[in-house]
Structure 1
Amino acid sequence: MNREDKTAATHGGVLVELPLGDAAPNFNLEKSVCSHGLFMMAPNHWDPHSKTLKRPLRPCLDDDETSLMVHISHPPHSIHALHLRVFGTHALSPQQQQSLLLDNVYVASVWSRTLSMAQALCELQAELQHPLSSASNVMDENGTISSCQKLKLTISFQKHPQEKNQRESLEFVNCLRGTEDYSGSTIGNFPSPRDLARLDEKFLERRCNLGYRARRVINFARQVIEGRVQLKELEFVCGTVSLSDYDKLTEKLRMIDGIGPYTCANVLMCMGYYHVIPADSETIRHLKQVHAKSSTIRTVQEDIENIYGKYAPFQFLAYWSEMWQFYEERFGNLSVVPHSSYKLITAANMRPKKERGSKRTKLSVVKDMQDGFTKRMQA
C-alpha cells in the first residue's frame, strides 16, 4: 500500500488521506473492518449508517497519555484513499501521522466476557485520565454526578483502591469531555502500559473482572515500562513481515507470562503472519460442523493442514473467510448487528438453521468459498 499520505486541516479536525494503491478497485471498508470480532471490541466503534470506524488512538508512540478521536471512512468521492479524520488537534507531525497509519494496519460465553473486560478496561482508562476534581464533586444529594473536570491522575490506586458501582461508573463516563466521538458519547482508549503499571492488582481484578489475568496484565505493563519488553520492535516488524522471523518472534512472545501457543499465534496473526491458524474449541466446532471432521485438540492441527494447507502462506485468511461467512449465514450481516447483540455472536448460538430453498450441502458451499478465495489470491 502506498504510504504517501496527504493531510489537511479542516473545520472538523485534521484529515489524513491514506492511498489504497492497487487495492483501490476492490477495496471495501465495511467488509475489511467487519470481518473479525475486533470491530465489536472496545474501544472500536463501528457506525453502520455512515460506515465509519471510530476509535481513540495515541498519535505519538512516546506519549501514552494523549488520545485523539479518529474517524476512518471511505467516502464515495475518494475511492482511491481512506479518510482518517483526527479530532482534537489542528496539526499532526510526520511522526504522529506515521503512528496513526501503523495503528490502522490490522486491523461462547468466553466471547461475551472478552467484550465486557475490554469495555471495562476502556472505561477505567477514561477514569484514570480524567478523574473528578475532588470527592465533593462526585455526587450530589440525589446520587448523581454534579461536575467533572479534566485533570491528570492525582491519586494512587495502589494506596487508595476505589471501586464504583455500575450506575456511578456510567454517569462518570457520560460526563467526561476528553476523547469524544462527536456524536455525543465518550469512548475511553485501551489503557497504556503506564496506566496499568501503577494499579493495584486487587483493584484491577475487581474493577474490570479480570480474575487471575490482573496480575499478568500488570506485570506485563511493568515489563514494558522498565524496557524488558520492547513494543516498538514488534510494531516495526508489522511493516516487514518475513516468515523467517516467525520462530524468533514466537520465542520472544512465549517468554511473556500468560502468552501460550494459542495467544501467541493470534498475536502474530494480527501482525500479518497468516500461515498458522490459532486453534481452539471454536476451530474444532467449525471443522466438525462444516467439514465433518472429528477433530480433537491433539489432531486439529493435522486436520487444519489437510484442509487449508493448499492456501499457504495464507491459511488463516482462507479459514477465517470461510468461518466468517458461516457466521453471517447464521446471524445475518454482522456489520449491521446492534451493539447490544455483539455478545450473542458465539459458538453456542451457531446451531445449524433448517435449510430453506436451495438443497445445497454445506460442503458445496465451502467449495464455492474456497474457489472464490483462490481466485482472489491469484488476482
Structure 2
Amino acid sequence: MPTPSGGAAARRRAEPQPRVDLELELPLGGAAPFDLAAAVCSHGLFMMAPNRWDPATRALVRPLRLASDRSASLLARVSAHPARPDSALLVSVRGAGDLSSLDQYYILEQVRRMLRLSEEDGAAVAEFQAMHPSAREAGFGRVFRSPTLFEDMVKCILLCNCQWTRTLSMATALCELQSELKRSSSIDDFQTRTPPIREHKRKRSKRQSVRVKLETRFAEDKLEDPRLASGSSNDLTHSETNEILSSLPSVASETGSACDSLDPSELRLSNAPHLEDCIGDFPTPEELVNLDEDFLAKHCNLGYRAKRIVMLVRSIVEGKVCLQKLEEMRKMSVPAAEEVSTIPSPYERLNKELSTISGFGPFTRANVLMCMGFFHTIPADTETIRHLKQIHKRASTISSVHEELDKLYGKYAPFQFLAYWFELWGFYDKQFGKIREMEPSNYRLFTASHLKNTRKEKKPLEESSGG
C-alpha cells in the first residue's frame, strides 16, 4: 500500500478525528501527590519510541493496543484531567468513534502499567518515600516502563553495549518496521521491496583496538560475578563513561535517530496526528516472528541484538516463554527489608526463568526485573562506577562495585535502586537541564561526551546542540 501523499495526509489531519475520552482514577494513599511529568520523565525508557512526551502540554502520546484485536493500535494521549487534575488522568483515544468496555479496560491497564498506578505500586512508593524525604518532596518513586512486558524486555536488550543515540535509533527503527509491516500484504513482499542495508567496516586505530580489548575484558569479568551486568552499558550514558574508556574513541557505530528529525510542532497534541502519520507502534512478537534474523539486524541496525530478539520472539510465539506466567510470578509483591538478605522467592524464580532465555545476562535481567517491580538490585555498569567516583569519591572496580552500592544504598532496602536512581537522575537533571522540559530532539545528547561539554562550557543544552 503506497504511503499517503503530503496533501492527502494534510487534508486528513484537518478533518475532525473521532475520539473517545477515558478517565483514569489516581490511587489514593500515603505517597506524595501524583505528578504525571515526574512519573513519565523518570527513566530513559520514556525517551524511546514510540513514546513521545510533549513538554509544552505536559502530556504523553503513543499508540496503544486493543484487547479485541491485538494487531490494531490507536493513538492515546495521557494528560492531567482538566476538571480533576489531582485525582484523575484523561486518556484521549483517537481514531475510534466507539470502544468496547473490554478495549477501554485494556487501554487503561496499559497506562496503569506504564505509570505504575496499581495499589501495590502506590504502597511501594509510599514506603520508599517515607525512607527518603527528598524523593517524596520531588514526587519521585514511580519509574516509567512500557505498556507490556515484551516491550520492556526488548528495550532492555537495546540498552546493552552501545551508545544512547544508537539505542534511540534502534527503538525508532523497530517502530518504523512495524508500520511498514502493517502496510505490507505479506512478509515476502515486504522483504522483496526492501533492499538490504550495507554494512560498512571501519578501520580501527591502535587506540580503538585497545578499547575493544578493554570492553571485552569488562564483559568477561562481569560474567564471573552473577550480580554484574552482561552488557557494559547504562540507560543513559553507557560504556564510554568508564574512567579508562572515556579517553578513547568510541568503537560503537552511531546512527542518527529518526526521533531527532521530528519537528517539535508535530508533538503538539492539540493537533494530534493520525496513527498512520506516526512512526508506528512497538511491534508484537507475532509481528516479528516470521522475520529473518539477518534481515532484522540490517533493517533496524540491531547488530547481534537481532538474534536475541528473534529467539525471544520465537520462544514466546511457540509457548516456551509465557509472559503472562512471568507477570503472575511477580505477584506484584515487594520484599520486606528483613527478607532482602535471603532474596525473595518470586525474585529468585523470575531471575532463574529469565536466565533460561538466550541473551538475557545479569544486566539485562536486572533491568527487566526492575521494570517488573523489584528494586533491591541495582543494574551496575561503567556508568555506575563513574557516578560512585564522581559523586561519592569511591574508586570502585568491576569486582567491588556492588559492595560499594550496598554500603551507600543498603539502608534503603528493599528500594536500593530507587535511591540510586533518584540520585543519578537528579545529577542528569542538573547537568542537562530539566529533563521534563526538553524537546525530544535533544534526547540524543544524553552521553558522557556531552556531559563533559556541559560541565566545561556551561551552556544551555539548546546552544550546545545547535538547536
Q: Quickly name the TM-score band, shorter chain normalised.
A: 0.7 to 0.9
C-alpha separation in 1, matches of 2:104 and 2:37? 23
Letter in 2 for 1:49: A
Matches within 5 A, 1:183-194: 183=273, 185-194=277-286
In 2, the alpha carbon distance for the partners of 1:120 and 1:159 equals 15
CA separation in 1, counterparts of 2:24 and 2:65? 18
Residues 1:215 and 1:259: Cα distance change in structure 2 (over 3 Å): same
Alignment correspondent of 1:222: 314
Give the Cα separation in 2 of the matches to 1:100 and 1:271. 19
1:13-55 CA deviation, whole Å, 9 max, x = no partner?
2222121122586111011101111111001001111111001
The amino acid across from 2:390 in the alignment is: Q
1:111–1:44 distance in 2 versus 1, CA, 3 Å? same
Gaps of 5+ in 2: 1-15, 115-143, 145-160, 199-257, 263-268, 336-343, 459-467
Quick one: distance in 2 between partners of 1:229 and 1:201? Answer: 19
- For residues 95-114 of structure 1, the aligned pairs below 5 Å read 95-104=102-111, 105-106=113-114, 107=144, 110-114=163-167
1:267 and 2:267 aligned: no
TM-superposed deviation, 1:296: 1.2
1:311–1:157 Cα change, 3 Å: farther
Matches for 1:1-379 after TM superposition, within 5 Å:
12-22=18-28, 26-60=33-67, 63-79=69-85, 80-104=87-111, 105-106=113-114, 107=144, 110-131=163-184, 153-156=185-188, 160=192, 162-163=194-195, 182-183=272-273, 185-237=277-329, 240-243=332-335, 244=344, 245-351=346-452, 353=455
Task: Describe the superposition over 1:100-144 as per-residue Cα deviations: whole angstroms up to 9, x where unpaired.
Answer: 23322243962111100000000000000123xxxxxxxxxxxxx
Residues of 1 paired with 2:330 and 2:83: CA distance?
30
Secondary structure, aligned partner of 2:61:
strand
Q: How far, CA to CA, are the matches of 1:321 and 1:314 in structure 2?
A: 11
**Hey, what's the Cα distance between the residues in 2 that align with 1:201 and 1:165?**
13
The TM-score, its normalising length taken from structure 1, stands at 0.76
Deviations 1:207-239 (A, max 9, x none): 000111112211211111111111122334566
Q: Which runs of 5+ in 1 are unaligned?
A: 1-9, 132-152, 175-179, 357-379
Code of the aligned partner of 1:15: D
Higher share in helix? 2
Cα gap change, 1:47 to 1:233, in 2 (>3 Å): same
* % identical aligned pairs: 46
Q: 1:158 to 1:228 in 2, by over 3 A?
A: farther
One-letter amino acid of the counterpart of residue 72, structure 2:
T
SS in 2 for 1:298: coil
1:22 aligned counterpart, secondary structure: coil
TM-score, normalisation: structure 2:
0.62
- 1:179-224 deviation line (CA, Å, top 9, x unaligned): x982364131111101111111111111000111112211211111
Q: After the TM superposition, which of the residue ranges 96-105 and 64-73 deviates more from structure 2?
A: 96-105
Structure scoring higher RCO (CA < 8 A, sep ≥ 6) equals 2
Q: Compute the RMSD of aligned alpha carbons.
A: 2.8
Q: Given residue 342 of structure 1, which amino acid in structure 2 is its aligned partner?
A: Y
Partner secondary structure for residue 377 of structure 2: coil
State the partner residue of 1:367: none
Distance 1:97-1:272 versus aligned 2 partners, 3 A rule: farther
SS in 1 for 2:414: coil
Residue 355 of structure 1 deviates from its aligned partner by 12
Supply the distance in 2 between the matched residues of 1:13 and 1:159 (Cα, whole angstroms). 35
SS at match of 1:301: helix
